[in-house]
């Protein structure tokens, strides 16, 4: 029996980011509102993390609401119809249900109910994972346009008495439309994990333990110093790999947009990379807090709002977090 030759799909050779949308929680929470139960101070939090205040969402505002707002802005900015979106990838760790996915809810709300839709669980690396996947899906011919979203309502998983991570966290969503391009708009994605460190950022318990009244409502924790060292030493190597794989040097960068984990990590990162002073650095953490998967697109959106001239320039973006997982690429800013 002769086996018929199968066809494989292929797409355009290059991709780029068309537009970015942003939505932040509607409540501004200054440090002073959080310091009591953790015996901290506004000064300590500012010095150690660079956070002045964080944005959190009201009780009735869900991660999907933030995702919807950010997505509609990105779609409008891209000038495409929702029906042209072939896939929706939502990076989130705060969808309140295990299934259906947050992506399918977004699909329905934005008017793309027939798009492939799935969630990515890669915490703070999720947006970079999503951009890498969108680039691959389009070049493989599986979608013409892809909507990549990072959406988090982390305030549902904070413990006001926790000194390790809760005071860092905020709520928000960032969205990007990726589509075909005449030239390279997304450099190679460097991604991976170091699962030997998977306990450095963790939950205090499981939903099943909570149901069985064996543990409290699960909240986030981290070993701050270990995460700090990993972020500064190991992630700089990943960032340098992304720069090299893209065939550029730091002198070619217009912007550096790392995951907004801690201002001290961002500063140390920039120093280790030997970034020229001309490179704009995403520092959205100061007023938004750490929004995990949403932090890179939110920081990108702010940089483009404050410095529209960065549009068309090269940005190095890198996400890293719970898992521990990481992803980085150089992109052309929309
Ligand atoms: C969490 C973090 C801000 C803590 O800062 P740190 O400088 O490492 O703090 P340390 O754990 O070394 O503690 C230093 C001192 O501050 C105190 N301290 C710790 N947390 C505190 C808090 N929230 N408020 C006030 N004091 C605190 C400690 O008790 C310690 O006091 P001591 O010197 O009297 O013993 C920091 O480790 C960090 O940001 N890590 C990485 C965070 C990150 O990126 N997470 C997200 C991953 S995606």
Got the DSSP string for 89-101? EEE-S--SSSSS-
Q: Whose CA is nearest to atom 42 of ligand 1?
A: 224
Query: Any idea what the CATH number is for the domain that residue 233 is in?
Result: 3.40.47.10
Residue 18 is assigned to a structural domain of this protein: yes
Co-location of 177 and 283 in the same domain: no
CB of 49 sitting under 6 A from ligand 1: yes
**Which tens digit of pLDDT belongs to each residue from 79-124?**
999 999 999 999 999 999 999 999 999 999 999 999 999 999 999 9
At residue 32, the pLDDT reads 98
What proportion of the chain, given as a percentage, has pLDDT over 70? 100
Q: Could you list the residue range(s) of the whole structural domain that residue 228 is in?
A: 190-332
Query: Which of 152, 181, 210 corresponds to the end of one domain?
Result: 181
Query: Which of 135, 155, 181 corresponds to the end of one domain?
Result: 181
Indicate if the pLDDT at residue 1 is higher than 90.
no
Co-location of 65 and 149 in the same domain: yes
At residue 194, the pLDDT reads 95
Co-location of 257 and 148 in the same domain: no
Query: Which of 181, 201, 231 corresponds to the end of one domain?
Result: 181
**Substitution site in 158, 159, 194, 228 for ligand 1 pocket (most atoms within 8 Å of beta carbon):** 228
Q: Whose CA is nearest to atom 37 of ligand 1?
A: 224
Co-location of 157 and 218 in the same domain: no
Residue 2 is assigned to a structural domain of this protein: no
Domain count, the chain: 2
Q: What is the longest distance spanned by two Cα atoms in the chain?
A: 76
**Which tens digit of pLDDT belongs to each residue from 200-252?**
999 999 999 999 999 999 999 999 999 999 999 999 999 999 999 999 999 99
CB of 230 sitting under 6 A from ligand 1: no
**Which tens digit of pLDDT belongs to each residue from 125-166?**
999 999 999 999 999 999 999 999 999 999 999 999 999 999
CB burial string 285-301: b at 16+ within 10 A, e below: bebbbbbbbbbbbbbbb
CB of 321 sitting under 6 A from ligand 1: yes
Residue 40 is assigned to a structural domain of this protein: yes
Nearest one of 242, 315, 246, 229 to 280, comparing CA atoms: 315
Q: Residue 160 and residue 170: Cα distance in Å, rounded?
A: 13
pLDDT averaged over the chain? 97
Q: Tell how far the Cα of 207 is from the centroid of ligand 1, in angstroms.
A: 27
Co-location of 265 and 241 in the same domain: yes
Q: Whose CA is nearest to atom 25 of ligand 1?
A: 40
Co-location of 140 and 224 in the same domain: no
At residue 114, the pLDDT reads 97
Residue 1 is assigned to a structural domain of this protein: no
Residue 48 is assigned to a structural domain of this protein: yes
């Amino acid at each position: 029996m002769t086996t018929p030759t199968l066809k494989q799909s292929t797409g355009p050779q290059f991709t780029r980011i068309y537009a970015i949308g942003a939505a932040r929680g509607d409540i501004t929470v200054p440090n002073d509102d959080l310091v009591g139960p953790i015996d901290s101070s506004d000064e300590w939090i500012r010095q150690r993390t660079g956070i002045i205040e964080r944005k959190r969402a009201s009780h009735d505002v869900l991660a999907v609401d933030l995702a919807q707002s950010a997505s509609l802005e990105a779609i409008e900015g891209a000038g495409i119809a929702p029906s042209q979106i072939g896939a929706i990838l939502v990076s989130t760790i705060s969808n309140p249900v295990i299934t259906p996915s947050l992506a399918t809810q977004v699909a329905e709300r934005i008017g793309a109910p027939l798009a492939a839709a799935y969630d990515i669980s890669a915490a703070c690396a999720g947006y970079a994972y999503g951009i890498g996947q969108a680039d691959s899906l389009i070049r493989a011919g599986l979608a013409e346009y892809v909507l990549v979203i990072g959406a988090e309502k982390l305030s549902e998983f904070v413990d006001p008495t926790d000194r390790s991570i809760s005071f860092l966290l905020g709520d928000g969503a960032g969205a990007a439309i990726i589509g075909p391009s005449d030239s390279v708009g997304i450099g190679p994605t460097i991604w991976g994990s170091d699962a030997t460190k998977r306990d450095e950022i963790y939950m205090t318990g499981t939903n099943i333990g909570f149901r069985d009244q064996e543990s409290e409502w699960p909240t986030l924790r981290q070993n701050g110093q270990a995460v700090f060292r990993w972020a500064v030493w190991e992630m700089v190597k990943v960032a340098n790999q992304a720069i090299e794989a893209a065939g550029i040097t730091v002198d070619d960068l217009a912007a550096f947009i790392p995951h907004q984990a801690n201002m001290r990590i961002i500063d140390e990162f920039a120093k280790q990379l030997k970034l020229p002073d001309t490179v704009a650095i995403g520092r959205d953490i100061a007023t938004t807090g750490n929004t995990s998967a949403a932090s890179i697109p939110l920081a990108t959106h702010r940089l483009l709002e404050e410095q529209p001239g960065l549009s068309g320039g090269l940005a190095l973006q890198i996400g890293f977090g719970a898992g521990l997982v990481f992803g980085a690429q150089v992109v052309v800013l929309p």
